[in-house]
Copies of this chain bind each other. A is one copy, B any other.
Amino acid sequence: MTKLNENYLKLQSSYLFSTIAKKVAAYKQENPSAEIIRLGIGDVTLPLPSAVIEAMHKAVDEMAVSSSFKGYGPDYGYDFLRQKIVETDYLARGVQITEDEVFISDGAKSDVGNFQEIFDAKASVAITDPVYPVYLDTNVMAGRTGAFKKGKYSKIVYLPCTAKNNFIPLLPKKHVDLIYICSPNNPTGTCLNKEELSKWVEYALNNKSVILFDSAYEAFISEPDIPHSIFEIPGAEKVAVEFRSFSKTAGFTGTRCAYTVVPKALKVFDKEGGEHSLNSLWGRRQSTKFNGVPYIVQKGAEAVYSPEGQKQIKENIAYYMENAKIIREGLRSLGLKIFGGVNAPYIWIKLPKGVTSWDFFGKLLKEANVVGTPGAGFGPCGEGCFRLTAFGSRENTIKAVERIKQLKL
């Protein structure tokens, strides 16, 4: 009798965005004429930059001819892409990262989900509350949590983020092995500034912890004091892994390319206290379970770093951030308290007292035909909050804000 991994039975229903998709589909079926505007899932809508399109056409042509055809690529990505990443995203910011510390992958979700595999099954885990569900669910699957009770899994260290602390987590009171930090944050749109992030690096150095730093939204940072990379903080290379993605930066949600930086200075320990390189461990994981990103896609990602590519992605980001401003200002005019939307494409709404986030989801869907994401879907502290994204078209964003303004809140 073959048994399942019973940790899966602890998971709470289905993945948040699948649930939302099903609810929207059901509403759409009952109301086929409803003109639904989706500001729920953080999915881009602008087409790929023309520099990327050109590069991918060229790469497709290369695949058509024996002399330039590409079979299996290097396990960790092509050097042409790893070089551009190192030069543009790190060296140009004064951060020393080498090419063999960069692992190209098909998505930050995959990497951030798979990364926990290389740590001890009993490692203690801290996450913020609210949180991007992948950090939590993948640790549930791996057995690092107990049962789910009153909205929380036992054994997990939750770091509450609320309007009272401006959604900036406090350091854990006890020792934790693995700490997930997302800045700019999904879902709250808030950021850790240099001083705040330095405290986390110091904590990790003192506790020999590992910070899993998700900076998938760094391209949206507009304020000078917000670090784009955790490696801007001295000492972080000894305690942090950084996850980045082309999904939001360059419109790659349907094209799939990301990367993870694992510094060679980062060590983890065996039972006897012997040191092991996390970079080597992740390399072994990836060469055993992953076969790389399509050549065509890596050529597309390389083009993001060309002068035209850089100009085009900045224009797209500016477009989305103008949407963020429209949402932020429109909702503020209703007297709602709003977080995020300045250094991140997410707008985090504090709902009026007594309104639950799933109630608001239903109201918005039915009365305004606008889809957002209920804060409670990201954790108990997300209750009473609601996420909208800036990734819609300008027209739809304006229309959605106008419709919301008509509601009785």
Q: How far is the CB of A282 from chain B (nearest CB, A)?
A: 10
Question: Is B295's CB under 8 angstroms from A109's CB?
Answer: no
Among the stretches A67-75, A152-160, A165-173, A336-344, the one at the interface with B is A67-75
Q: Any chain B CB within 8 A of the CB of A4?
A: yes
A21 to B53: give the CA distance in the assembly, Å: 33
A122 to B48: give the CA distance in the assembly, Å: 46
- Interface size in chain A (residues, C-beta < 8 A): 86
Q: Any chain B CB within 8 A of the CB of A88?
A: no
B residues less than 8 Å from A269 (CB atoms): 1-4
Q: Any chain B CB within 8 A of the CB of A235?
A: no
Q: Any chain B CB within 8 A of the CB of A268?
A: yes
A371 to B43: give the CA distance in the assembly, Å: 46
Question: Is A294's CB under 8 angstroms from B134's CB?
Answer: no
Q: Any chain B CB within 8 A of the CB of A66?
A: yes
Question: Given contacts A5-B117, A5-B119, A71-B44, is CB(A255)–CB(B210) below 8 Å?
Answer: no
Residues of A at the B interface (CB closer than 8 Å) are 1-6, 8-9, 11, 14-15, 18, 41, 43-48, 50, 53, 56-57, 60-61, 63-66, 69-73, 75, 106-107, 109-110, 113-114, 117-123, 133-134, 137-138, 141, 143, 177-178, 208-210, 251, 253-256, 268-271, 273, 276, 278, 281, 284-285, 287-297, 393
**3 A-B pairs with the lowest CB-CB distances in the bound complex, closest first:** A113-B289, A3-B120, A43-B71
